[in-house]
């Protein structure tokens, strides 16, 4: 089968400026969010703002700082945002559906930050998120998802093959195990 399987134009593209995917070709390259020949960003998460399609990403490589960037679908460009001095290089993002506020939960669940401006600024949202009795755990990669009006976190623990789940019924101010 020869031909374009999917064709589209982005806002602002000319009448003959088609984009598409020509099956069965595979993706042979990509453009990195951040390029550095000296730093490897292994841990990241991203969330899309539903009303605008803009993407906010948080990523880290050092033990104490997370960086952020936002992507604008109108310009197809990434813009660097503010850093989060979180004491970890891992985070999980969630976008609250009612306000489109973006919350970044740090990998060690010691704190969370929020942004209302696509990561241009980050403000501490809550602290000491670990429920009573779970402070002895060591956490790794964290993922967050909205479940109705609640936030669920899945966290990789230091115990091989073990995931720990947390839920917040107050939009990320506290967590229960």
Q: What is the pLDDT of residues 59-106, one digit of tens each?
A: 886 666 788 999 898 888 889 999 886 666 678 899 998 899 999 988
Secondary structure (H, E, C), the chain: CCCCCEEECCCCCCCCCCEEECCCCCCCCCCCCCCCCCCCCCEEEEEECCCCCCEEEEEECCCCCEEEEEEECCCCEEEECCCECCCCCCEEEEECCCCCCEEEEECCCCEEEEECCCCCCCEEEEECCCCCCCCCCCEEEEEEEEECCEEEEEEEECCCCCEEEEEECCCCCCCEC
Work out the percent of the chain whose per-residue pLDDT is above 70.
67
Q: Which pTM value belongs to this model? A: 0.74
pLDDT at 17: 74
Residue 155 has pLDDT above 90, yes or no: no
Residue 117: pLDDT band with limits 50, 70, 90: very high
Residue 152 has pLDDT above 60, yes or no: yes
What mean pLDDT, rounded, does the chain reach? 78
């Amino acid at each position: 089968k020869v031909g374009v399987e999917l064709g589209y134009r982005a806002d602002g593209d000319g009448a003959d400026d088609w984009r598409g995917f020509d099956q069965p070709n595979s993706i042979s390259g990509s453009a990195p969010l951040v390029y550095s020949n000296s730093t490897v960003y292994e841990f990241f998460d991203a969330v899309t703002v539903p009303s605008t399609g803009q993407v906010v990403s948080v990523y880290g490589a050092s033990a104490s700082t997370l960086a952020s960037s936002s992507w604008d679908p109108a310009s197809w460009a990434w813009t660097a945002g503010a850093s989060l001095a979180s004491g970890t290089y891992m985070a999980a993002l969630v976008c609250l559906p009612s306000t489109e506020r973006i919350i970044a939960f740090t990998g060690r669940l010691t704190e969370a930050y929020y942004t209302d401006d696509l990561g241009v600024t980050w403000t501490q949202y809550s602290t000491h998120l670990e429920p009573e009795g779970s402070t002895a755990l060591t956490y790794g990669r964290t993922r967050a998802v909205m479940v109705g009006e609640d936030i669920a976190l899945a966290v990789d623990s230091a115990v091989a093959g073990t995931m720990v789940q947390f839920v917040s019924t107050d939009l990320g101010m506290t967590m229960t195990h």
